[in-house]
Structure 1
Amino acid sequence: MKKLNIIILTVLLSGIFPALVFAQQKGDALLQVPLGVQSYSFRNHWANGVESTLDIIQQMGFKELEGGAPRGMSAAEFVKLCKARGISIPSTGTGFEALEADPQKVADQVKALGAKYVMVAWLPHDGDFTKANADRAIKAFNEGGKVLAENGITFKYHVHGYEFQPYGDGTLFDYIVEHTDPKYVSFQMDVMWTHFGGADPVALLKKYGDRWVSLHLKDLRKGAPKDMTGLTGPENDVVLGTGELDIPGILRESNRIGIKHMFIEDESDEELENLPKSIAYLKSLTY
């Protein structure tokens, strides 16, 4: 009877307080999701050979790729080459104007890759990001996101830092989150750009919880100047764990809120040297 009571209590707790039952143990790996990479990390390699670039990605141990078929190659052929190397494509990207103009066309392109997510990484603006820019984005996100959701695709906006212009009691990023429909609009946190724009990645993960569905992992050189342009030189993109970002704290909070996809994005000019170091760092992190 005592054993039965323990089983019943465990079942009840798992439904009410799942974190109490499934809490991570000391020594467990902080990286709880498949190792992913953003295809932009290999921007200097695709033109030299798609298959050879995918071989590098495979050899580094990446299991997920965020991106799409390089110019001149069909989605079907690219998917075939990735699949042969054990690489899936859960997420891809599109331009803001493409989403605004024809979200169904975007949906068809995403489905051709077998992806479930599509992100926009930049919003049109001239100089400072303004409320008018945010309002245009909100309209396109809600309308386009609805079409994508009807096609079984989750739309996400990739935060780039300039959205943290002060507005009201918060920022224009807060304004965008508050005025977009959670059924149709999710978010991808680029942790470096979030920090670069003056925000706290861990605090924002806590604040908006499951509105976040994926991360771009990168680090900023210690002491590098920061602003709200969303732009900085490649020398300021450094190996994970060597810069200003609290990567362990970010991973802990991401695990807590249930983020399933994390993509390293290396924008340095030493990506082939830096990526293996970033991978080793991530794999070294434990609770």
Structure 2
Amino acid sequence: MNLSTIAAQLYTLRDYCKTEADLEQTLRKVKEIGYKAVQVSGIGPIAPEKVKELADAAGLRICATHVGFDALADDFDNTVQKHKLWNCKYVGLGSIPEEYRTSAEGYATFAKKASEIGKKLKEHDLQFIYHNHQFEYQKYDGRTGMDILREESDPSAFGFELDTYWVHVGGVNPVEAIHQVKGRMGVVHLKDLEIIDHKQVFAEIGQGNLNFKAIIDACRETGVEWFVVEQDVCRRDPFESLAISFQNLKQYI
């Protein structure tokens, strides 16, 4: 990890990315914090060409995205075209569709379907990556949903984008989970967890209880390329939250 590989997930700033004018201002603020890249997710209906123009003007790379499964399955050509325009290799899926997440058979079916999409993406030099939440760690006959995704998918076509917060909530050590997907994760989501009034809450990197030195070391050891800061809910201005996380991450460079 170095300064140029730390990115901000725009989903954190989704309320400030609804229009072209909002996105322009948001990207400028992100760059002023110190980030050199963003992941595009949760923004308003803004033309891909305009997104590219605004990112370039702010001096920010687009390192990854989150797109809907429908965009991958039913609008494949446009999805490829958009990522090529953005010079963005990593095509992310934020969650498994609900119809696949209730059984071992569902997870296995999804793993195979997503692998086929991933193979098609590889023909265009793009990489499918899957972002987890906590529900993938429910067990089915002794295997978690995540185990099934990892074991039933094509390792060359189905990549991962582990979320450190949700892995921990799922009852797994993020360091262990990172090593389990060695060679299959080019993008990681860094998110801390704090306990407030006996409840778990999202926190800025370094403000919570996760061991980020060990997490960053594991990411380095397993070939992670992009370190993306995401915070689903912020208890202060989200730009301030991203700034705190960025400053705290710098100690691991």
Q: TM-score, normalised by structure 1?
A: 0.79
Q: Distance in 1 between matches of 2:202 and 2:220?
A: 24
Matches for 1:1-287 after TM superposition, within 5 Å: 31=2, 34-47=5-18, 49-67=22-40, 70-125=43-98, 129-222=102-195, 225=199, 236-269=201-234, 270=236, 271-285=238-252
Deviation at 1:246, TM superposition (A): 1.3
Provide, for residues 216-236 of structure 1, a one-character-per-residue CA deviation record: whole Å limited to 9, x for no partner. 11111226657xxxxxxxxx1
SS of the equivalent of 2:98 reads coil
Q: Distance in 2 between matches of 1:63 and 1:140?
A: 34
Percentage identity across aligned positions? 27
Q: Distance in 2 between matches of 1:160 and 1:104?
A: 28
Deviation at 1:167, TM superposition (A): 3.1
Q: Based on CA coordinates, which of the two structures has the bigger radius of gyration? A: 1
Return structure 1 stretches of 4+ with deviation > 6 angstroms: none
Provide, for residues 8-55 of structure 1, a one-character-per-residue CA deviation record: whole Å limited to 9, x for no partner. xxxxxxxxxxxxxxxxxxxxxx65752201111111211362211111
Q: CA RMSD in A?
A: 2.3
Query: Would the alpha carbon gap of residues 220 and 149 (structure 1) be closer, same or farther in structure 2, given more than 3 Å must change?
Result: same
8 Å contact 1:37–1:64 — kept in the other structure?
yes
Q: Distance in 2 between matches of 1:70 and 1:166?
A: 34
Q: Distance in 2 between matches of 1:68 and 1:251?
A: 23
8 Å contact 1:33–1:260 — kept in the other structure?
no
- Farther-moved stretch of structure 1 (250-259 vs 275-284): 275-284
Write the letter of the residue equivalent to 1:210: G
Q: Distance in 2 between matches of 1:169 and 1:70?
A: 38
SS of the equivalent of 1:140 reads helix
Provide, for residues 205-255 of structure 1, a one-character-per-residue CA deviation record: whole Å limited to 9, x for no partner. 1222111221111111226657xxxxxxxxx11121121211111000101
Deviation at 1:125, TM superposition (A): 2.1
8 Å contact 1:68–1:92 — kept in the other structure?
yes
Write the letter of the residue equivalent to 1:279: F
Write the letter of the residue equivalent to 2:102: F
Q: TM-score, normalised by structure 2?
A: 0.89
Deviation at 1:126, TM superposition (A): 6.5
Q: Distance in 2 between matches of 1:37 and 1:152?
A: 23
Write the letter of the residue equivalent to 2:204: V
The equivalent of 1:8 in structure 2 is: none
The equivalent of 1:232 in structure 2 is: none
Deviation at 1:72, TM superposition (A): 4.2
Deviation at 1:150, TM superposition (A): 0.8
8 Å contact 1:68–1:75 — kept in the other structure?
no
Q: Distance in 1 between matches of 2:186 and 2:5?
A: 14
Q: Distance in 1 between matches of 2:9 and 2:177?
A: 22
SS of the equivalent of 1:155 reads strand
Unpaired runs of 5+ residues, structure 2, are none
8 Å contact 1:214–1:262 — kept in the other structure?
yes
SS of the equivalent of 2:59 reads coil
Deviation at 1:106, TM superposition (A): 2.2
Deviation at 1:69, TM superposition (A): 9.2
